[in-house]
Amino acid sequence: MSKMKQSIFSFETVLARLQHEVVDLIKFDIEGFEWKLLDTVIKSEHLPKQLAFELHTRHANANYVPAHLVIDKGEEAVLRLFGQLWTLGYRVVSKEINSGDLRCAEFVLYRFYDGNNSSSSQ
């Protein structure tokens, strides 16, 4: 079996490579890697209007999510993540628990406010 070279890029790097400055929606389902991507999105100067993602937490089904990616992603990590998103002006508009894995949920967030000045981002 051959090894595949894996490349991981930050959100800002992807935007620069695609020559985009505005993003309306980011949707991803990347089996535990969402934590790293969300970290780069939160730090971005080009925040998308909407985020749609599957979030895996500690004890997620190891058949789908490598345990080392979510071992420290318990309640405190989830509260910290959603606190950061709240500060940036995002609000949860949809949440659906994954019926096959109760440690996993689908979220849709919309950025109603610019977290820097609380004005509408529309």
DSSP assignments along 34-59, one per residue: HHHHHHHHHT-SS--SEEEEEEE-TT
**Does pLDDT of 1 surpass 70?**
no
**Does pLDDT of 118 surpass 70?**
no
Put simply, whether the predicted model's pTM sits higher than 0.85 gets the answer no
**Does pLDDT of 117 surpass 60?**
no
Q: What is the pLDDT of residue 119?
A: 45
In the chain, what are the domains? 23-111 (3.30.110)
